[in-house]
Amino acid sequence: MEMKNTLGNYLIEQLYNCGARHVFGVAGDYVLRFFDDLVHSKLNVICTCDEQGAGYAADAYARLNGLGVVCITYCVGGLKVVNPVAQAYAEKSPVVVISGAPGIKERKKNPMLHHKVRDFDTQKKIFDEVTVASTVLSDPGTAPREIDRVLNAAQRYKRPVYIELPRDMTSEQVTHQYEFREMQEKSDPVALQEAVTEAITMIHAAKKPVIIAGVELQRFGLQSELVKFIEKTNIPVTSLLLSKSVISERHPLYLGLYEGAIGHDFVREYVESSDCLVLLGALLTDINLGAFTAHLDQGRMIYVTSEKTAIRHHNYENIYLQDFMYELMRANIKRQELKGIQHQEVQPFSPVKGQKVTVQRLFQCLNSFLTDDTVVIADVGDALVGGSDLVVHRRTEFISPAYYLSLGFAVPASIGAQLASPSLRPLVLVGDGAFQMTGMELSTIVRYHLNPIVVVFNNYGYGIERPMMDGPFNDLQLWQYSRIPEIIGGGRGFIVKTEEQLSEALEAAEKYKDGFCILDVHLDKYDMSPALQRLTSLSAKRAR
C-alpha cells in the first residue's frame, strides 16, 4: 500500500521496525526539528552530556539490541562521534548515525554556514571511512528507498551507517511502499555444500576437535545454534576476548577463554593440541590472539566468518556464516567422547581483615559477586584484561571494546546496555584514566534513573602503560570518585581500600537499587592482574 508521511516520521518508523526503541544524542539547531519529531514518537530520546557518550551508549545498545541509533547535529556533534563509530565499525556493531545538517536550500552559492568545515560534504566523506553505507537525504522522492538501503546495510554487515538529514527535508512529505525489505542474499548452494561436506569430514576424522566461537555468532544471532550444535556433538568450545560470553561461561562444554600465552595454560594446551580447529565468526585480532602468542595451525583449521570461508589453505566464495551454521546443524555428526575438561572454579570470597585490596583479590571478589542478572561492561586496561577471568553466567553479558580498545567506553556504554536489557544490572569495570574521559556521563545515568555499579580501578594513572614505558604522561590528577554523587545529584559513593570495605561496599551496592553506586577502589600504582602482567611484558618487547 502506498502511504504518505513526513520524511522525519518515515525515518523514525523504519528505525522502530528495525528494533530500535531508544535514540542517544545531543540536540543542535540543524537537528532540532527531528528531535521534536523523536520526542513525539514511539522512540525514547536519551540525551547525554557529550556526543561521545551518546556514541558509546548507542554502540553498547546495538550489541545487545541488534541496532543502535545516535542522533546529533552537523559536524560539531557528528565529528565528536567519529571515534565511537569507528569502534563500532572495527568490532561490528550496527550503529545508525543520524546527523542534522544545513538545509539543501541554504546550501546554494556555498555560504559559510556555522558548523561547516570545508565543504558541505566533508562530514559525509569522513563517515564514509568508518561506515558501510551512507546517504544524504537531499530529495524526498528518493529518501525512503535510501533510508531502507542504508538500514539494510547496517543489518547485513553489522556495521555502522550514516544518514544525513538536511533540516529543510525533515517535514517534507514522502510517498513510499510501506514494507521493510529484508536482505535476501543467499549462499551459493553448491559451494556451501562442498564446504560443509569438507568440514564435516575433517571433524569426523579428528580425535580432539574444538570450536573457537567468535563475536560474529553474537552479532548475527547464532548463539542458540552454537549451543545446540555443541550439545548435539559434544565438541568443546572456547571463546576469544572480544567474544567473551558468546556462550555462558558455566556451560559444561565451555573450556574457558583462549588467549595464547596470556590465557590459562589448560585452555592453551587443549586448543593448540587440537587436530581440528573450528573457528566460527572469530576475528583474528592481535588481542584475540594474545598479542600474537597464539599458535593456531592453519592446516587444521576450518575458518568461517561473515567475510571469509576457508578450510586449511583454500578459500570458498559466496558462503554466508548463517547458512554455514544452519547446514552444520543439520549434518549428522558423531558425538565426541570427552574427557579431561577442567573448569574454572569460582571460589567464594572471604575478606581478610585489614588486608589492602589487590587487583587479583578484587577480581576474585567480583567473580563471586556476579549473578544471573549482571552484565559486565569492561573498559580498556586491567578492567578488561583482568576481567577476562570473570566467569559470566549467561550470554552476551560481558561487553568490552576488546579489539579497538578505546578508553572511556564503559560508563556511557552502561547507559545503552541497561536500556537495551532493563532486567540486567550493569557492573562497570573502569580504570581511573578511562573514567576521567567519560565518567561524568554518570549524570545521564541519574537523569534516566539507571543503576549500574561502577568499580573504578584507581591506580593513579594509566597502569597498563607503566610496564611498557613509564613517565609523567602515565600519571593522573587524583579525583574523589566516590563524591561524584554530590555533584550530579544522585547515586552513592564508596571508598574502598581494604578487602572488608570492598565486601561491604558491594553488599550495600547490591541492596541499593534506586541509583548507581560508585566504588573508588584504591590499588597500588604498579599492581596488576596476572593476565595483564603477561600481556604487558609481551607488549613491552614489541614497543622497543
DSSP one-letter code for 243 = G
CB 368 within 8 A of CB 362: no
DSSP one-letter code for 400 = -
Instruction: Give the integer Cα–Cα distance in Å for 54 and 33.
Output: 19
Q: Report 66-95 residues binding a copy of itself (CB under 8 A).
A: 75-76, 79-80, 82-83, 86-87, 89-90
Instruction: Give the integer Cα–Cα distance in Å for 212 and 28.
Output: 45
CB nearer to a copy of itself: pick between 3 and 117:
117
CA 507 remoteness from chain centre: 28
Residue 254 touches a copy of itself, criterion: CB under 8 A: no
Residue 534 touches a copy of itself, criterion: CB under 8 A: no
Instruction: Give the integer Cα–Cα distance in Å for 359 and 365.
Output: 10
| Annotated binding residue 491 | no
Which amino acid is residue 344, in one-letter code? Answer: Q
Largest CA distance in the chain: 74
Q: Report 419-478 residues binding a copy of itself (CB under 8 A).
A: 436-438, 440, 443-444, 446-447, 462, 465, 468-469, 471-478
Task: Kindly tell me which residue out of 17, 19, 36, 533 binds a copy of itself, with binding defined by CB under 8 A.
Answer: 36
CB nearer to a copy of itself: pick between 111 and 189:
111
CB nearer to a copy of itself: pick between 354 and 473:
473
Instruction: Give the integer Cα–Cα distance in Å for 276 and 205.
Output: 9
Choices 41-49, 183-191, 259-267, 345-353 (CB under 8 A): range interacting with a copy of itself: 41-49
CB nearer to a copy of itself: pick between 276 and 442:
442
DSSP one-letter code for 309 = E
Kindly write out the interface string for residues 152-191 of this chain, putting x where it contacts a copy of itself by CB under 8 A and - elsewhere.
Answer: ---------------x------------------------
| Annotated binding residue 110 | no
- Give the burial class of 111: count Cβ atoms within 10 A of its Cβ; 0-12 exposed, 13-18 middle, 19 or more buried: exposed
Q: Report 199-218 residues binding a copy of itself (CB under 8 A).
A: none
Coil vs helix vs strand at 257:
strand
CB nearer to a copy of itself: pick between 364 and 482:
482
As a whole number of Å, the end-to-end CA separation of the chain is 65
What string of DSSP letters covers 486-539? HHHT--EEEEE-BHHHHHHHHHHHHH--SS-EEEEEE--TT---HHHHHHHHHH
Task: Kindly tell me which residue out of 62, 97, 101, 130 binds a copy of itself, with binding defined by CB under 8 A.
Answer: 130
Choices 11-19, 32-40, 271-279, 347-355 (CB under 8 A): range interacting with a copy of itself: 32-40
* Least distance (Å) between residue 342 CB and a copy of itself: 29
| Annotated binding residue 439 | no
Choices 10-18, 146-154, 323-331, 404-412 (CB under 8 A): range interacting with a copy of itself: 404-412
Binding site members: 432, 459, 461
